[in-house]
Amino acid sequence: MAMQNDAQYPLPPSHVAARSYTDPAQYSREFAGVFQRGWLRTTPLSDLPEPGDYVIWEELDQSIAIVRREDGSLCAWHNVCQHRGARLVAASGHCDKERFVCPWHGFTYDLTGKLRFAPMKNAFQADRIESLRTPPVRVEAYAGFAWICLSDDVPDLKTYLAEIGHELDWFGLDKFDVRYRFDVMLDANWKVVVDAFNETWHVPFTHQATLSDIVQWGKAHLRICDPHSWMTIPVKGLTDRQPDDADHRAAHITHYLAFPNTIYSNFPTHLQTWTIWPAGERRTHFIAYGMVGPVPDGLTEDQWAKRNQRDWEHFEAVSREDIGIINGWGTVAGSLGQRDYLFNTAEGRLTAFHREVARRTSDQAE
């Protein structure tokens, strides 16, 4: 396995200022330096299976239409009418006539966001109205989801994901179904939420009843591959049943951060995955999905469905424990007692994450 020669905890301890979680200027820099310069996972592809299906994706103060075209490919564009800035499409749905009509003055766009008709067209400045279109957004389909990028300067998704993409490819996620989901608004900065899910040593405290007997949290093995990171976690009932030379993904929970805000917690046959969306310095939208692979050998469809239902309920219970801690942070975020946050070596993925955010936001300050 890729990690066997690496140290369990590859980075020294570090610290960051608590203020970096609540400072409005830092928050703005993160939008420009982090979220505009990465690939962001948006909606499951199963939400738009047919040509003409579209999803209106609204996070980060953006509204983006992701559309399935006639040839089956995806396109995406900013959901803003180019006449006077109205929201063009109000909600996700299906477009039969290949036309989107602005509710304000009737500017009419095709599936790709090109202006096809404007009432009183000749009364506009000709050079401004010709070839008008909603600004396009880069979109790629990968691992069961539509991913977008808000910049032209970032390499393609595969190149961006690099090692994380190689890791995820092993699972064949195109064959998994997105079967479960839940979302919740949290009273915390988005980085608190990323931090909360990228280390294991809170398990014996936060998850004493739900996880500490199952997950061998003290044997997590961290791997940093900037800007991303991942870890393997041995787990009862899986690791002990696999030969020593089994692939690390077959024998562990493998846990990935696709920088900045997409997390996977994978078993070989099914997984939970979530995205963490800033909604203000102290508000975060957390969206989790349960993905289920093909029925494993030796199980019936029904047994597999029951097992997945049980696992998802367990995941929700575990997440609620994390959410309690995270929302508790929100109640003291403005306290004069907030100083520096200390990361130990077992929190090396947090060190790497904050180092990357700092690198990308200090560029913005110049």
Q: Which residues bind ligand FES (CB under 6 A)?
A: 81, 83-84, 86, 102, 104-107
Q: Specify the residue, 88 or 178, whose C-beta has the smaller distance to ligand FES.
A: 88
Q: How far is the CB of 108 from ligand FES (least distance, A)?
A: 9
- 20 φ, ψ to 5°? -65, -15
Residue 305: which of ligand FES, Fe ion, none does it interact with, CB under 5 to 8 A by kind? none
Q: How far is the CB of 74 from ligand FES (least distance, A)?
A: 24
Q: Specify the residue, 72 or 119, whose C-beta has the smaller distance to ligand FES.
A: 119
Q: How far is the CB of 106 from ligand FES (least distance, A)?
A: 6
Integer Cα distance of 324 and 264 in angstroms: 21
Q: How far is the CB of 134 from ligand FES (least distance, A)?
A: 10
Integer Cα distance of 202 and 204 in angstroms: 6
Question: What sections of the chain are H helices per DSSP?
Answer: 24-33, 126-129, 157-161, 163-169, 190-196, 203-206, 248-251, 301-332, 348-365
Integer Cα distance of 364 and 34 in angstroms: 10
Q: Using CB positions, name the residue nearest to Fe ion.
A: 322
Please enumerate in sequence order all residues whose Cβ is within 8 A of that of 81, keeping only pairs 6 or more positions apart, or say none: 87, 88, 102, 104, 107, 134
**DSSP-assigned letters across all residues of 55-122:** EEE--TT--EEEEE-TTS-EEEEE-B-TTT--BS--S-EE-SSS-EE-TTT--EE-TTSBEEE-TTGG
Q: Specify the residue, 68 or 83, whose C-beta has the smaller distance to ligand FES.
A: 83
Q: How far is the CB of 348 from Fe ion (least distance, A)?
A: 17
Residue 222: which of ligand FES, Fe ion, none does it interact with, CB under 5 to 8 A by kind? none
Please enumerate in sequence order all residues whose Cβ is within 8 A of that of 166, keeping only pairs 6 or more positions apart, or say none: none
Q: Specify the residue, 88 or 251, whose C-beta has the smaller distance to ligand FES.
A: 88
Instruction: Give the distance from CA 268 to its chain's centroid.
Output: 20
Q: Which two tokens stand for residue 200?
A: 């294991």
Q: Which residue from 95, 101, 104, 33 is spatially nearest to 69, judged by alpha carbons? A: 95
Q: How far is the CB of 328 from Fe ion (least distance, A)?
A: 13
Q: Which two tokens stand for residue 25?
A: 């200027």
N-to-C CA span, the chain: 41
Q: Specify the residue, 44 or 290, whose C-beta has the smaller distance to Fe ion.
A: 290
Instruction: Give the distance from CA 314 to its chain's centroid.
Output: 21
Point out which residues bind Fe ion (CB under 5 A).
Answer: 322
Q: Specify the residue, 98 or 322, whose C-beta has the smaller distance to Fe ion.
A: 322
Residue 322: which of ligand FES, Fe ion, none does it interact with, CB under 5 to 8 A by kind? Fe ion
Q: Specify the residue, 117 or 201, whose C-beta has the smaller distance to ligand FES.
A: 117
Q: How far is the CB of 196 from Fe ion (least distance, A)?
A: 6
Residue 105: which of Fe ion, ligand FES, none does it interact with, CB under 5 to 8 A by kind? ligand FES
Rounded to 5 degrees, what angle do the CA atoms 215, 218, 223 make?
95
Q: How far is the CB of 359 from Fe ion (least distance, A)?
A: 27
Q: Specify the residue, 132 or 287, whose C-beta has the smaller distance to ligand FES.
A: 132
Q: How far is the CB of 209 from Fe ion (least distance, A)?
A: 12
Q: Specify the residue, 123 or 365, whose C-beta has the smaller distance to ligand FES.
A: 123
Instruction: Please state at what angle helix 348-365 crosses helix 24-33, rounded to 10 degrees.
Output: 90
Residue 233: which of Fe ion, ligand FES, none does it interact with, CB under 5 to 8 A by kind? none
Residue 86: which of Fe ion, ligand FES, none does it interact with, CB under 5 to 8 A by kind? ligand FES
Residue 175: which of ligand FES, Fe ion, none does it interact with, CB under 5 to 8 A by kind? none
